[in-house]
Amino acid sequence: MLTERHLEIFVALAEEEHFGDAAQRVGITQPPLSQALRRLETLLGVRLFDRDRGVTLTDEGTLLLPHARRALAALTELRDTGAREQADGRRLRLGLVPELPARLGAAVAAAPVRAGERRRVSVTTAPTTTLLSEVSAGRLDVAVVRHPAVLHGLAAGPVGLFPTSLLAPAERSRRDAKAPLPYAVRPRAEAPAAYDLFVDTLAGRGRRVETVAVSDERAGLALVAAGQAVLVTADDSLVAEGVERYEAKDPVLPLRLRVVWDPRRLHTAETTDAAEVLVDALSRQAAV
């Protein structure tokens, strides 16, 4: 089996070009170094050094050297990262949907620290479908996602409703336009069930619903300012010249959010405790 020690010996000999110096560098005597090199060559099925002209790399050895250096560097980095993580304490890996207003996201991320959580918090922003996959795979501990969504066995807190406003071009918001503008929305694939609920609710009110996909709400705001779309948002910091924020005649659809986590993962008690703190923080901010 190829080991890190094999690579260390190979790199030392390639750089020192002398068995005695290489053995001293890796902290062993020359015979064990020669034996380790023979085992490495047997494992790879090639000669790595030409011993007839001192100690020089063969063509195969020259090809292996940069890979061996990168592998050793990666192992060193991995150990250093693990040591830092152990020194800092295990991280609480939190995921947030992009639709979450910055103010609310900050409040949710700060809640575990304020509650005495000892782990450091790292934050990832991604669409609902991505966050659900990351939590299921164990790459995130807990996430705030849009509702409704297919949870596939994940645990979830109650649904919080967050009020939204309608942003529209100022000149159109003062009159009943005969040709309504499309709604700027994020792609359906990011949160299919939430997207369908949004469109179906509007359609159920007798409205003709057209949508235009945008990468984020800032892009949606730009379309509104250009007179090409309207935008439903929970973020009260989104403002622009020529854009008016107003309440529609019908209630504006709320942003529905909930906290999800995987109770099947290791450190279940820790994750559940952190999730409960986040559920409470989200509930405090919600209208309902």
Asked whether residue 122 falls in the same domain as residue 141, the answer is: yes
Asked whether residue 15 falls in the same domain as residue 26, the answer is: yes
Asked whether residue 168 falls in the same domain as residue 234, the answer is: yes
Asked whether residue 214 falls in the same domain as residue 74, the answer is: no
Sequence-distant (≥ 6) Cβ neighbours of residue 80 within 8 angstroms? none
Asked whether residue 131 falls in the same domain as residue 264, the answer is: yes
SS3 124: strand
CATH number of the domain that residue 188 is part of: 3.40.190
Structural domain including 174 reads 164-253
Task: Please choose, from the candidates 93, 88, 230, the residue with its C-alpha nearest in 3D space to the C-alpha of residue 165.
Answer: 230
Asked whether residue 24 falls in the same domain as residue 136, the answer is: no
Q: What is the pLDDT of residue 27?
A: 85
Asked whether residue 126 falls in the same domain as residue 240, the answer is: no
Structure token pair of residue 189: 């694939």
Q: What is the pLDDT of residue 173?
A: 46
Asked whether residue 181 falls in the same domain as residue 121, the answer is: no
Asked whether residue 195 falls in the same domain as residue 243, the answer is: yes
**Boundary-marking domain end, from 69, 87, 105:** 87
Asked whether residue 145 falls in the same domain as residue 272, the answer is: yes
Q: What is the DSSP string of 89-119?
A: ---EEEEE-TTS-HHHHHHHHHHHHHTT--S
Q: For 5-41, b where at least 16 C-beta lie within 10 A, e where not — what string?
A: ebbbbbbbbbebeebeebbebbebeeeebbebbeebb
Sequence-distant (≥ 6) Cβ neighbours of residue 158 within 8 angstroms? 258, 279, 283
Strands 211-213 and 160-162: what pairing?
unpaired
Q: What is the pLDDT of residue 147?
A: 96
CATH number of the domain that residue 109 is part of: 3.40.190.10
* Number of domains the chain contains: 3
Asked whether residue 71 falls in the same domain as residue 19, the answer is: yes
Q: What is the pLDDT along the chain (288 residues), one digit of tens a residue?
A: 788 888 999 999 999 989 989 988 888 888 988 998 999 989 899 999 988 777 899 999 999 999 999 999 988 887 766 555 554 447 889 999 999 999 999 999 999 888 887 778 999 999 999 999 999 888 899 999 999 999 988 999 999 999 999 999 987 644 445 578 999 999 999 999 999 999 998 888 776 789 999 999 999 999 999 999 999 999 999 999 999 998 755 556 899 999 999 987 645 566 667 888 999 989 888 865
**Boundary-marking domain end, from 22, 54, 87:** 87
Asked whether residue 169 falls in the same domain as residue 26, the answer is: no
CATH number of the domain that residue 71 is part of: 1.10.10.10
pTM above 0.75, yes or no: no
Q: ∠ CA(240), CA(246), CA(249), 5° rounding?
A: 150
